[in-house]
Structures are given as structure tokens and as C-alpha cells.
Amino acid sequence: MGQSTAPEAPSRRFPPVPESVAPARRFVRATLAGTVPGIPPDLLDTTELLVSELVTNALLHARTEIEVSAQVSGGRVRVAVTDCRPSRALVPQDCPPYAGTGQGLALVAQLAARHGVERGEGSKTVWFELWPGGAPHPSAWELPAPPAGPAPTVTLVDVPGALYSAARQHRHLLLRELTLASGAGEDLVPPLDLATAHDISNVISGCVSAALRDERAEGEIRTLPLAVPADAAPAVEALSHVLDVAERAAQDERLLVLPALPRSRVFHRWLFDEITGQLAGGQPTAWTVVPREPGAGPAELVPWTSAHVHAGRAPTIAADERNRIIAVNGPAADLLGWHADELVGQRLTAIIPEHLRARHITAFTSLLLSGEPRILGRSVPLPALRRDGKIVPVRLFIQTQETADGRTVFVAQLAPRAATPSGSGARRPGDRRPAVPREEAGRRRVGAAPPVPHRLSLLAETSAAMSNAHGLDDVLQRVCQVLTRRLADWCAVDLFTEDGRVERACVVLRDPGAARAEDFEGALPPLTDAARGPLARALSGAGPLLLTEPPSADAGGPLDADFGALFERLGASSAVVAPLRARRETIGALTVARTRRDGAFTEEYLPLVDELGRAMALGVDNARLFQDTRNIAERLQRSLLPVLPEVRHLELAARYAASSATAQVGGDWYDSFILPTGDTALVIGDVTGHNLDAAIAMSRLQSMLRGIAVDRQEPPEVVLRRLDMANHSLHQEATATCVYGLIKGAEEGPWELVHSSAGHLPPLLVTDDGRTRFLEDGSGLLLGVDPHVPRPTAHDAVPPNATVLLYTDGLIERRDESLDASMERLGRHAAGLARESLDVFCDELLIGLGADSADDIAILAARPTPL
């Protein structure tokens, strides 16, 4: 008798077109149902789902004729999908459940009892098996070894894993949607370009996946060598062009996918430029040194988690793409009058004043639909809503970050501004640390004690870092970045607070790995007589101290135990602990540590670290003195901002925002009061300078102007002339600009603005139909030049419901723009707000024109309204 053979599985060939997916599903279902009439329906449904995924994959990536076979043998269902392109290897992706692409192979791996791939002479077959009662066995794909490929030709330096995952998912989603659109008759790109883009995109994904498997890297920031084909540059350029077309189509809502957010677009440009540039002989450029763009720069390099928010000292809130709050820290909850747990899960509109909610929803929707940011990566003055209904002026700084599985999170830091009874106020500097580019780690060998030129350059670089810093946190971050790049593997700074407690103010790691610096910062146990460890000794003024082994975490008091635990968690083979002394007092301690024995610190390093500690102590002390001065000026500014009067026929609103660049208060001011005649006075001014002297001069001018105006009740030009004469009599005469105006008219109207300007920008009149006009008459010499020069007065009619806007130059002036262009921009922006409420009018001006202003901003708006 002849040997029996298994019957050949029924199969059918399908052309490489999207329409083949549905008939392939029907073929498999009909074949299996006809072979085994009693096959369970749920098994048929699962088989049909997995066939659909594999056929779609083959059509998208192989683009050849495919053969689908299905059979039942020994009670097991076996389905195979064969294409004619064995060189196109499978690239399984770890995709989260919500990802738009990459789910096909993942579904098969999750649902099939067995699965695999076989490569033949001129074909590649992907198969799976199912059987009744056979539980799925989720497992990774066992891929056949690819033929020997080229040596690594491209090196990607400092690739953030979370951002790469998000960008890759979006790239594949755009290409899939383009393919579906092309199948539906949309000729967005030539078919050959689309095929090339698909191929090279898969090659890039495969190269990165292989590099991630082969590279042993700590943490999420990796340097990846890629074996990219040497002739891939034209294909990468085609992919870049195709993605640009897809992005524009997504923005025009021609594809069922949202456009990418700015950081993802910038990352893709960097990725493609690195591949094409290095294939042409160029050198690698790290992602971490890509020039920063608002909303797109390389801010956070590690995957975002809610722990990042909770560990921060600055008020911080995080929201997802559904506009819901997903994390709040204690400072933010305290600022807004909530418990943090109560805010989580609510929409962001819960903390947005009612008059700005519609605008927020529109802007957020516009960001998602267009991918174009308006305030991402920029410092914007805004009002926030407390739980009790009160308004809290803040400066908002929003950035996008990515989770480990590729989701986008919007992280907002709220820097409080000084609140005033009128709803405006000066900004109180926040705790946000500016993003400092991460240097390439591990490329400089830390060895013996540095020679003298090295020591001098290190001290010079440390001094330069402090001179460029803004605020205490920035000083510490910049200096520690220098030290971890050139001297140590990690460093820590512990400081005494005003009330004598000890706080770990800064920790910086050369290579973060799985550790987060913020986890080690915060309040420390008190310095007591029982503490005898190296940190306690340094805080008492001893040192610098050389540690040739980690301090014990079990000996001494709580402070010693905490210091030992720091070494245990971060690792160190040697360290130097030096006191920070300023003005004959010890204000803290600096710890620099190394983790490798071959580069251990020796006694030769003690003088260098002592010098660095003295320089850092001076920078810390100066930063604290500057902060104290700034706080005094801020309190002064807050006390001088007036309460706006209540006038039955006149709406009034004002806003004040300090410079986002310097966070200092200065000489900008506004005022409004009712004269005994019944007229309403409007005042705005700007004293030269941005320091405490300017704030003091401003307070003098403001007080003198109100006193002269109320006492004399004279025309504006006379009041300004008397103010200038009084200013001239001061020991330190101020140079300033000012507008003094009067809104005249009965409650029922008509109204006019009578004003005189001392070198200030002209008031803007905005009628309720959107027409604008700058009131340029009445302009005269600024204060502090010649008090005897006659001053003009202007008379301008103010129609009902028209808005008179007084403003300082910080609202409009930009270094790269002419004054005429700036004023034209203000006019256009104000015209679009003509019929908004006065609160919306003022807030929108700050949002639209005041972001990242390098100067203080004061605005005062008045709108006569018929009773």
C-alpha cells in the first residue's frame, strides 16, 4: 500500500488591491464552515478577524499577489497568508490598544494558539492555528534570521524612546490612511512614491527595532546604530515628502487621522535629516541639541508619568488629548483651592474662567485638528479660576510630553502673578526650571586629577553658567550640569532654608537611566548634634571631605541615614563633600560623586571642589539676594495696582503682567479714578527701567498724578505739565511716558475722551463694528526732559459700546518688528475682539500679543455703555 499524505489545503489567490480583504475573509469562512459543519461560531469569528489583519498587512507591505489557504486537520484550524516578497521581513510592534496601526501581528500573537512565519525561495508565509477549547498563548513572534545585512551606517544619538514611539505610530497611521485614500480614488501622491514611502518606513522601523533589541541601554534615552541600506537616501527623501503631503491632507480633514503635534514633526525632520546626512558622509547630531522651537523643542527626554507632576515644586497640571485632567500636584491644587484628587478626571474648563471657556475649547480643538500650536512652549499671562469662583492671575507654560506607550500629554505649569482687586497683577516668578540641553554622556573618560588648564576652564565654565542663570533653581541646575558633564557622574546640593531646615535643592545625574533626579530632592531630616556623617560635618562648616567608599546608611542620626541611602540608590565609588560658605556663614553643601573605580576621586581634587563650592556659594547667595529684592519690588507693585472705580455707564478692566523673560517688576502702571466733577480719569505710564528703582519712581509719579488731578481738576495737558514740574523737583528725577485722559459725558452720553500724552503710545479706539483708530493727537514730550514745554490736548468722540484702550509698549513691541507693524498687529487683534466682553477683550490681548514679551505689560480699557 502507498503511504498516505495529508490533503492539500484549499487556497485561493487574490490581487494586490484593498478590495481583496473582504473576499479573502469570505473565502476562509466558507471553506472552514464547509469542512467542519459544527465548528463553533466564535472560532470562525476569531479566524475571520485574524485573516483580515494578515491580508491587510500583506497588501500594505508586500504589495504582491497573495495566496490564502485554510484547512482543518486533527481538529485544528490552520490559516496561512503567502506573499511573493520574502525580503520584506515582518516587523512586530509593541503598540498600545488605542494605536491606529501596528495591531495586526499583535492581535495574532494575542489570540492565536500558535503562530509563525516561514520564508521560502520566492515567498513568505505567515500562519496561525486555532482549535476549539484551545486557549490563546500570547507570545512574541519567532522570526527567521534575516540574511546578513549591511554594517551600521547611521547612528542616532540620544533617541527618546517615548517620543520615537509616538512619532512612529503617527507615521504608520498617516501612510495607512494615504493608502486607503488612494484606493478610494484620492490622488494625493503618485502610487510609486507612496510605495517607496511604505517600504522605507518599514525599513526604518525594522532597523530601529533591531537596534533596540541589540543595544543594552539604561533608561529611555538611547544611542542607536542602524544598519540602513547605503542607497536609502532618495527613498527617505520621498518618505519625508509623502508625510508632508499627508500632514497637509490631515489638516484639511481629507484623511481620517489628526495631524501630528509640533514635537513629532520636528523629531521626524531630525530623524530623516540624520539618515540622509550621515549616508552622505555627515556627522551625527544628537536630538538633545536640536534648536528649540516653541511647542516643539526637546524638553523632557524621559517618558512622562504622573509622578513627574507630583514630585514638582512648581504648580503643575497635566491633561490628556480628551481635555481631561489626569494629574495635579499639591502646589497647583493649593493655588486653585481644590484637593488634587477632586480635580483629576474633570475637564480643564473647571479651572478656566467662564468668559474664556469657549475660547479654550476652540483653541484646543484647533490644535488637535491643525497640529499648529498657539501657546505651546510659550509663557502666556492668563487668569485661572479658583474653586471659590475667584480669579487667580497666572503665567501659563504648556508643553507636550509622551508616555512610554506613545500617548501625548499636555503638561502646564502655572506661575502665580500678583493678584489685585481689579483682577490684574504682577507675576511672581515660578519654580519652573528651563530646559537645559543634555550633553552626550559617557564619552569623556573621567580619570586622574585635572591639569591646571582644565581646572581653570572648569571654573570659568561654572562662573559663566551662573552668570547666565535666572533664579536660584536655574543657578543650581546649570552649575550641576557642568559638573556632571566634566567632573562627576552625579552631584547634589543641600541648602539651609530661611527657617534653618535642610533641603536637597538639586540633584543632577550624568546618565539618568531609571532614576529621576526629582525623586531625591526635597526636605531632609534636621541637622542635630547626633549627626556625625560627612554631610552633617560639611553643613557644620568642615571640609572638603574625601569619601573613598559610600557612607553607611545605618550609622548616626536620620540625616546621616538619608545621605547613606542617597549613595546606595545612585551608587558611588568615591565622592567629595564640600561646604558652601557665603558671608562667613555655611549655607549648604555640595556633593560630587563618581561611580567607577578607575576614575575615583583623590586628594588632588579637594582644592578644585573647594574652589567650585566657593564659587557656587557666591552664586547661590547672589540669587537669594536678588530673589529677596524682587519679592520686595513685587509686593510694592501689588500694593500700587489700584482698585478700579465703579461707574454706572462705563465698563472698566485692566491687566498687568510682568516680563516673561526676566520675571521682574518695573515701572509700568495704570490708574483710574473719579474726579469731583464726575469725569473718569484714565492713566497709563511707563517709567524707564525694570528694577526696584523704576518701581519706586513709578509709585511717586502715580501718587503725585492722582493728587494733582483730584486737587486741581484741570485739563490733562496742565495736569501733565504740573506732574513734570513736580517730577523735576525730586532728588532723582524719573524719565517716563504717560497718558492722562478723561472720559467726559453724561450717563446717557454722548462721550468724549480728552487726553494728553507725554511721549506714550497713542490710545486705540475700537468701535463695536470692528473699526479701529489710533488717537495720535495730543502727543507731547515725555516726562523728565523739559517741564516748561507746552503740552497739547486732544478731544475725540467715543461712540456707545466703543472701547478705549491704553497700553504700554510691552504689549506690542518686538525686536524684530517695526513699531508701525506692531501697532497694525494690535489693531487687527483688537478689531476681532470688538464685541467681546471687556474681560475677554483684555485677556485675549494678553494671550495673543503678550506671550513671551520681554517687557512688562499694563493695559487699561474703558467702554461707555448706555444705561
Q: Kindly write down the DSSP assignment for every residue of 793-854, as one continuous string.
A: -EEEEE-TT-EEEEE-GGGT--TTS-HHHHHHHHHHHHHTTTTS-HHHHHHHHHHHH-TT-S
Grid coordinates 557666591 are at which residue? 618
Mean pLDDT along residues 28-55: 86
Q: Give the integer Cα–Cα distance in Å for 154 and 761.
A: 55
Residue 113 is assigned to a structural domain of this protein: yes
d(Cα 607, Cα 620) in Å, to the nearest integer? Answer: 20
| 446, pLDDT greater than 50 | no
Q: Work out the pLDDT band at 429, boundaries 50, 70, 90.
A: very low
pLDDT at 342 over 50: yes
The yes-or-no verdict on residue 151 having pLDDT over 70 is: no
Half-sphere exposure of 808 (CA within 13 A, CB side): 30
- 544 upstream amide cis, omega within 30 of 0: yes
Are both 602 and 651 inside the same structural domain?
no
CB-based contacts of 34, cutoff 8 Å, min separation 6 = none
232 and 264 share a domain? yes
* 495, pLDDT greater than 50: yes
Peptide bond into 750 cis (omega under 30): yes
Mean per-residue pLDDT over the chain, rounded: 83
Same domain, 325 and 412: yes
Helix boundaries (H) for 487-556: 534-539
Is residue 634 domain-resident? no
Residue 429: inside a domain: no
Predicted pLDDT at 638: 67
Residue 403 has pLDDT above 70, yes or no: yes
Q: What percent of the chain has pLDDT over 70?
A: 86
Q: Looking at the chain, how many residues does it have?
A: 867
Residue 445 lies in a domain: no
Q: Does residue 426 lie within any of the structural domains?
A: no
Give pLDDT, residue 426: 31
Per mean pLDDT, which range of 133-147, 244-258, 575-589 is the poorest?
A: 133-147
For residues 348 and 325, the answer to whether their CB atoms sit within 8 Å is yes
Based on the fold, state whether residues 650 and 613 are members of the same structural domain: no
CA pair distance 334, 339, nearest whole angstrom = 7
- Residues 826, 684, single domain; the answer is yes
Residue 449 has pLDDT above 70, yes or no: no
> Which pLDDT belongs to residue 14?
95
> Among all chains, which residue has been given the C-alpha cell 529621576?
516
Instruction: Tell me, yes or no, whether 352 lies in a domain.
Output: yes
Please say whether the beta carbons of 702 and 685 come within 8 A.
yes
Q: Give the count of domains, the chain.
A: 5
pLDDT band at residue 773, thresholds of 50, 70 and 90?
very high
What is the reported pLDDT for 41?
85
Strands 764-766 and 325-328 turn out to be unpaired
Same domain, 676 and 537: no
- Domain shared by 683 and 620, yes or no: no
pLDDT at 844 (0 to 100): 92
For 46-60, 455-469, 470-484, 816-830, which range has the lowest pLDDT when averaged over its residues? 455-469
Residues 663 and 596 in one domain: no
Which range of residues forms the domain containing residue 527? Answer: 452-629
Q: How far apart are CA 839 and CA 127, in angstroms?
A: 64
Asked whether residue 664 is assigned to any structural domain, the reply reads: yes
Mean pLDDT within 569-575: 87
pLDDT digits (tens, 9 = 90+) for 846-863: 988 988 777 889 999 999
In this prediction, residue 493 has a pLDDT band, given cuts at 50, 70 and 90, of very high
Measured distance CA(778)–CA(791) in Å, rounded: 8
Same domain flag for 219 and 117: no
Q: Enter the pTM of the model.
A: 0.68
CATH code, domain with 323: 3.30.450.20
Q: How confident is the model at residue 492 (pLDDT cuts 50, 70, 90)?
A: very high
Q: Could you give the CA distance from residue 398 to residue 630 in angstroms, rounded to a whole number?
A: 25
Rounded to 10 degrees, the C-alpha dihedral 518/521/523/524 comes to 140
The DSSP string of 302-333 is S---HHHHHH-SS-EEEE-TTSBEEEE-HHHH
User: pLDDT (tens digit, 9 = 90+) per residue, 269-327?
Assistant: 999 999 999 999 999 988 877 765 666 655 556 788 888 788 777 789 999 988 999 99
